[in-house]
Structure formats: structure tokens, C-alpha cells
DNA sequence: CTGTTAGCGCTTTCAA
DNA sequence: TTGAAAGCGCTAACAG
């Protein structure tokens, strides 16, 4: 009465079942180029695989090929908001359609070095939300990672850059300028690991002011509490040439500004216009509802996936289209 | 002038360098139990490994052991709020200290079946935010996954349950009841994939009402917009015995309620008390600021990691402590 | 206590 | 076109 042990179905089993060699199974299942297989053989293999419920071992393939079909996305322990969540969901789906599995890892260098992580995954590509140490990138590529892409940076040497967040800052400032504001403030986030996102946005706002012949935005760091925001607002209003319109790093900072304005008894948008970024659901729930910049996550994900899959396949990356069309302004009562 | 090809350093190289057999290297580096190694040999191996910059190939180890040192956390496409992000960050760090690498994958069954994902990763354990299909769990375990843990469910057959969200709903309702409210409402989230989180919370609120001898909460689905919330509020106030205190599924829904109350010209907390859950940063920025239930993510992560690492090591899981101490009420002006 | 050996499951030359 | 065989790098049973 021995219980049958559940051995894993291997390609050898399929080969035996189909009456061919293991290599043939491999060729058929991988559509290996330059290997023509008669349709009858092919069909026999496919049938046998289906009959046995064969599922190729990714671990073994990873060992021989030197890389898996996983794309590793590296995040820092910053506050993961709904905007990031939405993009990740789109990315995961888009990579999935290409046969690649996206997983994300929240990097904390004090706990676990990045080396350990990519060794553990052997990813086909690495996506990073922040600049990657050139030395680390070299190591990864030597290790077999086909593509190292940095999202959200203004410029970078060898790594590929996909989204230009400076456009966001520029659009924010241009909107305020177009509405007649001539002295712009910028509410910068407090959280340290957000700096890499915030800098390009701020630069964009700076450029817009400069183009319009205005002074550079007055930058204040604003924490996510009303008191901190109120202090910034009072500072802006106390300037010789007071700030009348402010770009917030994102919608959360903008929420803080709205709370701070109430505390400081400043009317929005009457005395101070505020514009956010990301268009999170809560942006429509504040009072007054928040004008903000919406991001087309679907288009963005598609673009990222195109670039990365090309690199993984060894092709030239497609021309990087202008990023401007990823962003739309959503006008609500705050600006 | 041929360029030296960068071969990967393998355990064979280390063995050669140290003048021992490959198995010895493996024993030393893995601290294999029941294999005593003289300190001098051990040291020689360690030195050789360091000198060569040896990094064991996780892919190869995965193939032989049948599983990696990766813990796979499965999410559904939407719920990524700051609360989930905070927990993930803590989990990642806590697993990292145990030598396990946590990665998360946003599951979208219409794109990529879960089978593909765990085959690709060969995880040591799977953490799921929602109930796992028993058939899938069986398959995973047969495949080598040591532990399948379901976070956030009220009860479940074989899978391990870690957090009892019903406590959250209970605390919300008890707070309102303690403040004198005798007719409670519940604002249920609209998004379908949130149902698995929401049900336990609602059940907790139900139990609290029942314990207090009150009618069950009046449940309305509230989308993340002011109009939807206003409709719910008007419904509650039109009841023969009007609702005067409402538990929101989470802080975002509570934000919608606050916006809806403004639209419906209902005063919070004067005419309607609102209590949220999760204590996201924005909860302190609404007007009025939101009373809510804070979650101790650090303690929670520790608990989850203890349970899962025990299972991975083949030990008995530690006794599940009462979950009550994970939650704290944060009182602000809204209730 | 150390070394030899046999896999883990797949890919990919190289012959037949 | 198909098949045999040599790895990929590591672990673990078994001898010595």
C-alpha cells in the first residue's frame, strides 16, 4: 500500500511520452530559431506535455541560461502612495503579457545588500526608482542582467531613463503663471528618500519660472502636518514680494498645504493658489478640491515595458518619445 | 592581447584555492548540522572565499534544494495605500534579517496565472493578502513551498492567519458606542478586490453592536467621491432611527465621507461622527482631522516573520498572540 | 572529518 | 531533423 510519490514532471518524461529526445522537447517548447521541426513531431510533443501537465522548471532554466524571466523593480522604503501602486499594477500586467514576471523589492541597504537580492532572483532586467550606483550596475550586467533602467531621473549616463518628472514641475508652474501668478513657491517633501523624485520636479518648476522671466520658486520643505505647512505659508506671505501660487511636490504635500492654510487662516485659492501632482483619489476629496497633474500610468507602463523588453531581447531600444503626453492637468478649485 | 573573460567564481574555485573538496566548502558556508569541521579548515575556506569574492549562486542552490530563499507576497491590483506600503517595508526588513528576501507581485489572473509566478520564483513561503484557493495551495506545497500564510482573514482552514482585522471594526464601533451613539453605520468600500479586507472589519463592527445590544450597523457602499458619500449620509440620516456614528472601512473612505458631509451640509462630528482606520498621514490633514485606528506595523511584521520563518525551518509556529495590541485608537476631532 | 559521486532539470553544441 | 552528451553550480548521501 505504498503511496505513490509525486515526482515532478520533467522534460524527460515528456520526451519519453512523445517518443523523442529531450532536446527535441526543448526545441519545440522554446520555438528555437533555426531548428525546423516537422509538424507531426511538434504536435506529438505538445500533446504529451499537455497530457502530463508539464511545467518547465524555471529554476533549472535560470541556472542554464544564467538569468530568469523575472524583472526586478527596486523601491526604497518611502511612503508608497496610490500613484506608485497604480503604476506598479500596470507595469506588472504589461510585463506579464510579454512573459516576464515583475516583482518588487523594497531595498533597505542597512538590512540586506542589493547584491544579495539580484543574486537571489537572477533577474532579466532591473528597474530602479532611483539612480543606480555605476559600480553596482556594472556588477549586475556582468552577472547577466540584460537591462538596468532608471525610472524618474532627469538625466543619467548609461542607464535608461524613462520618465521625465521635470515635465510635471514645469506644467505646475506654467499653470500658475498662466493664471497670473508672478511669484511662485515650491513645497518640497520632507522625507529623505523622496529627494530623487522631488529634485526633477522642482527643476521643472524652476525652468518654467526662468522661461517666463520670473524669479526662481521659493522652496520650503513641508512635512505632512498642518503646522509645518502653516509655517511655510506664513513665510511665503511675509516675503517682500509674496508668493501667491505654490507647486506642491505631490498631492499629499498639497493636502498638508490645504490643512496649513486653514490653520493660518489663508484662503485657497483666493489668497494662495495650490497645485498638486499625481492625481491621487484623495485629491478630489479635499476642500477645496485640488488642481493637480494626472499621470497616464497605462501609457507610461507600456513605454517602460517596450524599452525593457527590447533590451532583454537584445534589440535596440525604441526611440524615446517625448514624455509630455503622459501628463494632463486636472483643474479643480484650488488653483 | 586577448581580454580575460570574467568567469563566475564558483565553489570549485574556492575549494581549489583552499585546498579542500567542494563539499567541504558547502558544509562550511552552510554551517551544515552534524558536520563538524576543524577550525583551521573552516578558516581556510572562509579566507579563500573572501579572497575570491565568492558569492554562491542562488539559482543553483534553488535547483538542488527545490526552493529559493525568497518569500513571495501576493497582492491584488488595487489596494496599495500607504498602510500597505508601510507594512511591506517592515516585512521586507524583518525577513531580510532572517536571510530571506521578500518580493511582492501584483497578481492579475487575467494576465498571468499564479502558477507561473511561483514556478518562476520557487519561493520558500508565500504570503497572500487574500484567501488562497485550496487547490493552488496544495499545488504550491507539493512544489516545495514551505509555508502559505494568509494575512488578513478572519478564519481559514489550513492556511495560517496572522492579523485579525475584525478587531479594527470592533474597536471603531466600540468607540462610537462608548461616545453614546446607539445607531451605527458602516461605510463599505466599493472596489471589488478590497472585499476580502473589508468583510472582517465589518464583522467586527457587527459583533460590537450585537454585544452592546444594538442593531447591526447599517451598511452602505461608499465610492471615493463626495457625491457617493453624500448619498450614503443622506440615507443614514433619513432612517427612522438615524445613524449618528459611522465606521469607515479605512481612512480614504472616511475622507470621502468628510467630503460628502460638506456637500450634504452635515456637520462632523456634531451631526455625524466618523471614524477611520489605518491612520494614514492624510488622516491628520483632513478637516476635521480624523479619529482612526492606528496599526503597529513593526510589531505586526515581527509576528508574521516569526510565524513564517518557523514554518520555513520546519518548526512549530509560535503561539499566535492576541492581535489586540497591534491596534490603537487615535482620537482626533471627527468622533 | 574529508572527499567522491550522483543528481537537480534544462539548454545547446555537435554528430549522426 | 533528431539524439547523445556535456555542462550550469550547488547539495547531500555515502565511503573512506
Could you say which residues from 129 to 188 on chain A have a Cβ atom under 8 Å away from some Cβ of chain B? 142-143
Establish if B2 belongs to a structural domain: no
CATH code of the domain covering residue B43? 1.10.260.40
Question: Across residues B168-186, what is the average pLDDT?
Answer: 98
Do B200 and B116 belong together in one domain? no
Is pLDDT above 90 for B148?
Answer: no
Do A176 and A279 belong together in one domain? yes
Establish if A324 belongs to a structural domain: no
The residue in chain A having the minimum alpha-carbon distance to the alpha carbon of residue B75 is A89
Distances (CA, A) of B161 to A236, B106, B232: 51, 20, 33
Which nucleotide does the CA of A30 lie closest to, via C1'?
A: C11
Establish if B28 belongs to a structural domain: yes
Band (pLDDT 50/70/90 cuts) for residue B329 is very high
Could you say which residues from 252 to 281 on chain B have a Cβ atom under 8 Å away from some Cβ of chain A? 252, 255-256, 258-259, 262, 281
Which range marks the domain in which residue A142 is found?
68-163+299-315
Which nucleotide does the CA of B66 lie closest to, via C1'?
A: C8
pLDDT for B79? 64
Could you say which residues from 206 to 245 on chain A have a Cβ atom under 8 Å away from some Cβ of chain B? 224-226
How high is the mean pLDDT of chain B?
A: 89
Q: How many domains does chain B have?
A: 3
Do A159 and A171 belong together in one domain? no
CA distance A224 to A194: 13
Do B73 and B44 belong together in one domain? no
Query: Would the Cβ of B21 be found within 7 angstroms of any atom in strand C?
Result: yes
Establish if B334 belongs to a structural domain: no
Q: Judge: B281–A106 Cβ closer than 8 Å, yes or no.
A: no
| 3-state secondary structure (DSSP) of residue B106 | strand
Query: Would the Cβ of A160 be found within 7 angstroms of any atom in strand C?
Result: no
Do A127 and A175 belong together in one domain? no
CATH code of the domain covering residue B246? 3.40.50.2300
Per CB-CB distance under 8 Å, the chain A contacts of B84 are 80, 85
Do B176 and B285 belong together in one domain? yes
Do B230 and B117 belong together in one domain? no
Establish if A3 belongs to a structural domain: no
- Looking at chain B, the whole-number percentage of residues with pLDDT higher than 70 is 93
Do A173 and A292 belong together in one domain? yes
Q: Identify which has the larger pLDDT, A163 or B292.
A: B292
Smallest CA–CA separation between A2 and chain B, in Å?
18
Establish if A44 belongs to a structural domain: yes
Question: Across residues B250-275, what is the average pLDDT?
Answer: 97
Do A193 and A236 belong together in one domain? yes
CA distance B206 to B199: 10
Read off φ and ψ for residue B292, nearest 5 degrees: -155, 175
Q: Where are the alpha helices (DSSP H) in chain B?
A: 11-18, 22-30, 39-52, 58-65, 82-97, 114-121, 134-143, 166-178, 195-211, 226-238, 251-263, 297-313
CA distance B36 to B50: 21
Do B268 and B203 belong together in one domain? yes
Establish if A219 belongs to a structural domain: yes
Establish if A331 belongs to a structural domain: no
pLDDT for A37? 81
In DSSP terms, which residues pair with A306 in a beta bridge?
none
**Positions of chain A with pLDDT lower than 50, given as ranges:** 1-5, 154-158
Band (pLDDT 50/70/90 cuts) for residue B35 is confident
| 3-state secondary structure (DSSP) of residue B236 | helix
Nearest to A103 among B103, B255, B284 (CB): B103
Is pLDDT above 80 for B159?
Answer: no
pLDDT for B248? 98
Is pLDDT above 80 for B226?
Answer: yes
Do B170 and B287 belong together in one domain? yes
pLDDT for B30? 84
Do B82 and B188 belong together in one domain? no
Is pLDDT above 50 for B274?
Answer: yes
- Report, in ranges, which bases of strand C sit under 7 Å from a protein C-beta: 1-5, 7-13
Amino acid at each position: 500500500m505504498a503511496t505513490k510519490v509525486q515526482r515532478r514532471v520533467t522534460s524527460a518524461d515528456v520526451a519519453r511520452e512523445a517518443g523523442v529526445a529531450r532536446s527535441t522537447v526543448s526545441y519545440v517548447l522554446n520555438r528555437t530559431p533555426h531548428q525546423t521541426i516537422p509538424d507531426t513531431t511538434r504536435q506529438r510533443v505538445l500533446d504529451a506535455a499537455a497530457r502530463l501537465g508539464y511545467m518547465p522548471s524555471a529554476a533549472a532554466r535560470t541556472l542554464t541560461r544564467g538569468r530568469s524571466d523575472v524583472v526586478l523593480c527596486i523601491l526604497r522604503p518611502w511612503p508608497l502612495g496610490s500613484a506608485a501602486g497604480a503604476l506598479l499594477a500596470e507595469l506588472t500586467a504589461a510585463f506579464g503579457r510579454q512573459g516576464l514576471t515583475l516583482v518588487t523589492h523594497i531595498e533597505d541597504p542597512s538590512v540586506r545588500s542589493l547584491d544579495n537580492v539580484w543574486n537571489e532572483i537572477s533577474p532579466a532586467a532591473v528597474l530602479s526608482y532611483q539612480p543606480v550606483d555605476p559600480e553596482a550596475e556594472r556588477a549586475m550586467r556582468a552577472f547577466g542582467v540584460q537591462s538596468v533602467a532608471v525610472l524618474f531621473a532627469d538625466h543619467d549616463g548609461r542607464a535608461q531613463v524613462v520618465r521625465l518628472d521635470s515635465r510635471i514641475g514645469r506644467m505646475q508652474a506654467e499653470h500658475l503663471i498662466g493664471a497670473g501668478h508672478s511669484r511662485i513657491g515650491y513645497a518640497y517633501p520632507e522625507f529623505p528618500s523622496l529627494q530623487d523624485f522631488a529634485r526633477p520636479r522642482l527643476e521643472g518648476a524652476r525652468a518654467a519660472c526662468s522661461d517666463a522671466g520670473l524669479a526662481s520658486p521659493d522652496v520650503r520643505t513641508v512635512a505632512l502636518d498642518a503646522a509645518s505647512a502653516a509655517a511655510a505659508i506664513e513665510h511665503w506671505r511675509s516675503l517682500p514680494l509674496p508668493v501667491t501660487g505654490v507647486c506642491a511636490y505631490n498631492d499629499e504635500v498639497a493636502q498638508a498645504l490645504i490643512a496649513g492654510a486653514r490653520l493660518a487662516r489663508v484662503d485657497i485659492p483666493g489668497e494662495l493658489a495650490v497645485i498638486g501632482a499625481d492625481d491621487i483619489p484623495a485629491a478630489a476629496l479635499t476642500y477645496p478640491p485640488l488642481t493637480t497633474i494626472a499621470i497616464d500610468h497605462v501609457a507610461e507602463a507600456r513605454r517602460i515595458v517596450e524599452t525593457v523588453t527590447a533590451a532583454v531581447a537584445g534589440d535596440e531600444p525604441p526611440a524615446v518619445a517625448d514624455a509630455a503626453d503622459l501628463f494632463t492637468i486636472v483643474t479643480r478649485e484650488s488653483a
